[in-house]
Structure 1
């Protein structure tokens, strides 16, 4: 059968074509803003992709392998439908993408295979027998019932690229710190490595460019890691090329030894390194969600539980931003503030939405536009300097996500400076520093995930509460944030913050009741 006719039958039989969230072509709202070229349609569920669709005119294992690797790296859609002449394949979008030479059609990856679909009647019968009976229909996906079926249970989210990347980062962090590096230098080295791998996968940092930057001593990043001097020559040239704030190397060059670089090189080469975790090597960083880069910081967060630092799951951040910056309410000129920005997951998501709003207003997005929106409309604050560093790093990667390789390679392209202009390292309750930083600014949207837990109230926060004659229970920081942030919100703006329900709503002790009465009377 003709491929597009066969796919149409598939969409009709499973009910996908009738969904208002079945989107085709240029209208697909790609997560992260980067389109997967071979995917021409997608089925969404509450703005989250659940299935991608691709049509190929012939069986080409190399193309399918590349397609699956891109879908898997994106970590969003669990189902990948590939329609070929006379056959339909459904791949597991969450199953680890194979290395070259490994079988793509292993049972864990190829969920269903319908072949010999030579005519319409046969196609409809086989779709009914194999797919409808296995609950691939739209209603099962929309209600979530699919995930309780035998077929749904075959899809394991723990095999997604994001989960394996986080696991791998934890492994590398442990090995690097065991080898004598501080947490700060370990994550700086890992973050720098991910940035370079991203540039390599985007085709920006080419073999020729690396050869030139290393004076002929290396042809790839993994090559460079074999020599300490060559590695830091590459870091220095990249710092000069893009922005000195992105690659500060002075603090760690003398502390990072050839042993540390050897560990990183082996990791990038997919060596087991004791635990058997997959390394960075199978990932296509061109399609890794930028917000996931924030999890570099999150892998180090166990040491910060006492400060109330908890990472925000990507889907939860998306949900909050959709509620307050959805397509029906967003304006391209909105200003955004996150008073506890952490590694920047809310700032990156908000920035992406502003870029899309600017584009949908009929504008062509240029590098100058990206810098203007970022420096003029995105502001964050956090007590932790490492988190702020990662937030800047994530925002820089988001800029690259909206540029062509040619635009990035242009000699005039530079990242804007963000530290101390848009991102402040400070206790949010240090009034002098924060007010000096923000001046008289107020914002259209204040978003974020507040510090959680008892005894998270800082000295500055306690002093601020005393000055304001306010009470919060359990020495918890979140209620104090809730009282302070409205000062920085525009009169017709919105505040969308994640806060612990237990302490803000349910606990009945006197300080908690006093806080609730005061807060909810005001707002």
Structure 2
């Protein structure tokens, strides 16, 4: 089998998703061309023009359907003559860290390697990284079938457990883990943190120069040095000092200044440990284990990966800190710094490129540059666009000028600035040939981007591009940097930045406990409190306000901020004024990806916003809208977990059209968090239902007697105010300035809420969930005692903060903090029992889910304010009708709740021990409860489906989970119900137009895990009377599958499963819809949404 035959059998040949060496796209692919070009054997002699022993011949990947068509590499196809060359190829492409699979065509057959795992020789405990050992060509059919184009395009590749990608073995994880241990060891041995970081940073730089051929043997010999005196466990301190001086003079480097003499300088042993680590010795537990060969090659490791060393620097714990220290946060956490994963960096830059394409002469600024990930990628993009590979290579001086004129950043941490400088200079050197700068390039000097102590440069008026300074108050220094003259003042509209992009600190500023770098931010917040409000003193919101001030006219800003700012009540005023002041183009809400997006280093929901300043005094346009993208873990085809309960790691990030919504600017500027919740979880149908119910029925707030702070009691001012409501008592066991004694709770019972975490549908408290407050004295927060005490008397209802229960109790229970207590001011037990049932219904959870800021976004916790918005129909019931609720309550109170399986072990009680044995089936009673609730509210059939589909189906996807209720394959009855709901909605809209109705046919394809709908606006009423669902054996279904294949080919939508999991194609009077066979795509509420979108697109002609 020849290489060409292999490519043909794989289906790659001729595919627009296959980049073949020799084609311009392989060399120039945005974000990857520079990596692909290096994917071949590096010759020691640059003059050697013979064919490389091994090389990547092409790469197959997935490509986004919208501009700028981001590409994600999946499979490298390579050639190598023998096993040795193939093994070396594997090692070096593992260093590249871009493609998860590598197919190698050798003279004897095919080998498949993992591009994200490389096992070191001699370590039997490590996976080898070999997916499929050498297979001769006669037996290569299995490899071809596994990695065939269709397998990738349709997402089938990721369903094979043996092919699942484990990003934990990637080079960046291995390298960072080694550096973390090394840094910990150095600091534990007495080396100061700054010196340890400088030593490690310097060896990253030296190792890169060595592997790139810049520090050649010839260059070292000129300085009287040899490689073994610098690299490996025989490194010498004096030789390193000499090399540092020579490099500073030769390349004008001044990178990671390191003290070689005096107190605090690294010892020879410490230098040798670091040198050994960068040679491939792995530093484990304070000892160095020498490997049989060197796994790393910094000529192949992308600079983008190296810049993540910043994460290592800022997030390494201080080994001198006591284990019981109260503040266990690392320096990076204290400053609110979170590293930005590269898929997210590339996603945000692609958005900027869509709105304002980067070109020569434009300037980029990162107001919190960290490791420089954004700046490195922006500089790389600028180089690739300014100096295309099809044109002569740029001169080093041209690269330097481009860097000095275009790239700017600031950070409060000096280490971060040094890492950013290192990353940018290494990026520059990536494009320099010859690598050792001999011949006409011998006099070239690298720029000094950071602040300098060299007097000559200071005398020349050096202005750093990378400024160690707080962003708030940086204007004088930033002006000097942009203008290139100390003391200069910039005109930002003309001289400002075209792109401002970054990940500002996610930190809450505490005025009474200001950190080292907090005062300038807090001063800014106080100054701009009225015009630029900030919710919860969140620093990232202050950055979002301040950054656009430095934009050039027409410039674009993109920042990664905490997503809760889009939802939480304290940020309502921020949203009102921010979305009015700025034109926001896009907002990406990554809340569902919080557990996987940051590789486990952070679990705070993130959002990326792309926006620009309005023209002076310009009001928002009449039809201004914001495009919102809310990705779910289960729709990330390549990284979705295979089974419920699994957590993966994101190594790619795709935009799925089915998750894109549009929010009207006026809605965003209303300050409400509801539009953002609906964009993530709901639809206009849900909004209409919420608003209809809230206008039809009195809210809990209207039924609640207000609290009088003067009388210290609930005061009823209207006969409708039949309830008293309060959050629970915040009990303390220790006295203090902020508490008062609360003796009345002594001897009382309270609720141990964690005991109920593993249960749902709770209608009475088990004995193990109640604990006695048996101390002689307790305390509670001042001014927050009387109200909680008054709602802690029987009869009462206790509502969970997570809305997982609302239990009536005839026994007095002290309501715990964050939970909510409700009592009747007339002691109406029947009303309280009915209320407890109503608040336990699916509708109550549905309502709270949308109205609470954190449910479905951050954590399972709702607010009292959200509960007060709940529409309550119970006051309109007669006493006889109320008795039906009381009777149902009696039955449900005897039922054991449903247990949620968890990996965490709980106490060894059984449900039989905790609850009475019921006389009725819980599921049947829950159906009755939800029907009674829907009847009381007056919900339509469609509205009932909206409620049940969210609560019983889609909620299973909360928190990035792969819940079986949502991800199971839809049954025949589900598909039929979906098709009927879709048809009914479309027919209702069309009426009797031209005597036509909609014929809906569903053809399932279990092999691809998807189905296609054909919607024919037909005159054949009999054929259209009932929807038809066909399985894979039907002859007509086979015909439709052929139609599907041709249609996807014609539309160039082969990879729809990655980018639009609700793809619609219009062909005359027929509409075709493509969906995965996961139930949450096939609910009846999904049918309503799909019908609305089909109608809208038909009317708009799109």
Q: Same fold (TM over 0.5)?
A: yes
> Residue 343 in 1 paired to residue 371 in 2?
yes
Q: What is the total number of aligned residue pairs between the two structures?
A: 500
Task: String of CA shifts for 1:130-186, please: whole Å, max 9, x gaps.
Answer: 542xx4333443455533422223x42111111100111101110110111122111
Q: Which moved more, 1:513-522 or 1:216-225?
A: 216-225
Question: 5 Å matches for 1:239-254?
Answer: 239-250=248-259, 254=263
TM (norm. structure 2) is: 0.43
The separation in 1 between residues aligned to 2:476 and 2:259, in whole angstroms, is 27
- What is the alpha-carbon distance in structure 2 between the residues aligned to residue 391 and residue 485 of structure 1? 20
CA contact (8 A) 1:333 1:354 kept: no
More helix per residue: 1 or 2? 1
Of 496, 501, 516 in structure 2, the residue corresponding to residue 442 of structure 1 is 496
* 1:507 counterpart residue number: 568
Instruction: Tell me, yes or no, if structure 1 residue 423 matches structure 2 residue 466.
Output: yes
CA deviation map 1:404-460 (0-9, x unaligned):
234634321210121242111111111554454343331111111111132388211
Distance in 1 between residues matched to 2:548 and 2:106, nearest whole Å: 56
Task: Provide the rounded CA distance (Å) in 2 between the counterparts of 1:150 and 1:229.
Answer: 52
Residues 188-236 of structure 1: CA deviation (Å, up to 9, x unaligned): 11111111111211222123432442x3566452269532222211222
User: Residue 569 of structure 2 aligns to a residue in which SS?
Assistant: coil
Note if 1:36 corresponds to 2:39.
yes
Q: Compare relative contact order (CA 8 Å, sep 6+) and give the higher one, 1 or 2.
A: 1
**How big is each residue's C-alpha offset from its partner over 1:368-417, in whole Å with a ceiling of 9 and x where there is no partner?**
21111100011111111110111001101001111123463432121012
**Shift in alpha-carbon separation, 1:363–1:461, aligned structure 2, 3 A:** farther
SS in structure 2 of the partner of residue 413 of structure 1: coil
Q: Distance in 2 between matches of 1:433 and 1:111?
A: 56
CA gap of 1:44–1:217, structure 2 versus 1, over 3 A, is closer
Task: Summarize deviations over 1:53-89 as a string: whole Å, max 9, x none.
Answer: 1124xx3233222211221001111111111345222
Closer, same or farther in 2 for the Cα pair 1:327/1:490, shift >3 Å? closer
Partner of 1:359: 387
Distance 1:250 1:225 in 2: 20
Quick one: which of 13, 18, 23 aligns to 1:22?
A: 18
Structure 1: how far apart are the matches of 2:98 and 2:257? 33
1:53 matched to 2:77: yes
Q: Does the aligned pair in 2 maintain the 1:321–1:350 contact within 8 Å?
A: yes
Distance across 1 between alignment mates of 2:496 and 2:277? 45
The superposition leaves residues 271-315 of structure 1 with CA deviations (integer Å, 9 ceiling, x where unpaired) of 454348898941010011102222222112222201111111122
Matched, 1:110 2:130: yes
Distance in 1 separating the partners of 2:301 and 2:353: 23
Q: Select 1:472's aligned residue among 522, 529, 534.
A: 534
Aligned to 1:257: 267
CA distance in 2, matches of 1:236, 1:312: 34
Deviation at 1:483, TM superposition (A): 0.5
Separation in structure 2 between the aligned mates of residue 31 and residue 162 of structure 1, nearest angstrom:
20
1:80-91 alignment to 2 at 5 Å?
80-85=102-107, 87-91=109-113
Offset, 1:18: 5.5
Q: 1:21-170 residue pairs with structure 2 within 5 A?
A: 21-26=17-22, 27=24, 28=26, 29=29, 30=32, 32-33=34-35, 34-37=37-40, 38-46=55-63, 47-56=71-80, 59-85=81-107, 87-96=109-118, 98-99=120-121, 108-113=128-133, 115-117=135-137, 126-132=139-145, 135-142=146-153, 144-153=155-164, 155-170=165-180
Instruction: Give the whole-Å Cα distance in 2 for the aligned partners of 1:97 and 1:274.
Output: 17
Q: Which moved more, 1:513-522 or 1:300-309?
A: 300-309
Q: Deviations over 1:476-500 (max 9, x none)?
A: 1110011011111122221111111
CA contact (8 A) 1:169 1:299 kept: yes
- Going from structure 1 to structure 2, the CA distance change for 1:63 and 1:351 (only over 3 Å counts) comes to same
* Residue equivalent to 2:304: 291
Paired residues of 1:450 and 1:499 also in contact (CA < 8 A): yes
**Residue 401 (structure 1) aligned with residue 453 (structure 2):** no
Structure exhibiting the larger radius of gyration computed from Cα positions: 2
**Contact 2:203–2:275, Cα closer than 8 Å, also in 1:** no
Asked whether the 8 Å contact 2:498–2:555 carries over to 1, the reply is yes
Whole-angstrom CA distance in 2 between matches of 1:320 and 1:521: 22
Output the CA distance in 2 between the equivalents of 1:246 and 1:288.
Answer: 20
The residue correspondences of 1:304-383 to structure 2 (distance < 5 A) are 304-325=332-353, 329-360=357-388, 362=391, 364-383=393-412
The whole-number CA distance in structure 1 between the counterparts of 2:551 and 2:508 is 26
Report which stretch shifted further, 161-170 or 422-431: 422-431
Give the distance between the partners of 1:228 and 1:116, measured in 2 at CA. 52
Contact 1:81–1:91, Cα closer than 8 Å, also in 2: yes
Change (3 A) 1:217 1:98: closer
Q: What TM-score results when the alignment is normalised by the length of structure 1? A: 0.87
Structure 2's unaligned 5+ residue stretches are: 41-54, 64-70, 316-329, 451-462, 483-489, 511-516, 583-1102
Contact 2:370 2:417 in 1 (8 A): yes
Tell me how far apart the structure 2 counterparts of residues 247 and 459 of structure 1 sit (CA, whole Å).
28
Whether contact under 8 Å (1:312, 1:449) holds in the other structure is yes
| Matched-pair contact (CA < 8 Å) for 2:364–2:406 | yes
Pair 1:460 & 2:520 matched: yes
Evaluate the alpha carbon distance shift between residue 31 and residue 162 of structure 1 in structure 2; reply closer, same or farther with a 3 A threshold.
farther
Give the direction of change, closer, same or farther, for the CA distance of 1:114–1:234 in structure 2 (3 Å limit). Answer: closer
Residue 309 of structure 2: SS of its match in structure 1?
helix
192-201 vs 373-382, which deviates more?
Answer: 192-201
Tell me the secondary structure at the aligned position of residue 16 of structure 2: coil
Structure 1 unaligned residues grouped into runs of 5+: none
- 8 A Cα contact 2:508 2:536, kept in partner: yes
User: What is the rounded CA distance, in whole Å, between the counterparts of 1:261 and 1:274 in structure 2?
Assistant: 16
Asked whether the 8 Å contact 2:120–2:128 carries over to 1, the reply is no
Comparing 268-277 and 314-323, the one that deviates more: 268-277
Q: Assess, with a 3 A threshold, how the Cα gap between structure 1 residues 10 and 86 changes in structure 2: closer, same or farther.
A: farther
Distance 1:269 1:284, change over 3 A: closer
2: distance between equivalents of 1:324 and 1:252?
A: 47
Tell whether the 8 Å contact from 2:213 to 2:435 is kept in structure 1 after alignment: no
Moved over 6 A (4+): 276-280
- CA–CA distance in 2 between the matches of 1:298 and 1:252? 28
Q: Which has the higher strand share?
A: 2
Is the 1:454–1:476 contact (alpha carbons within 8 Å) kept by the matching residues of 2? yes
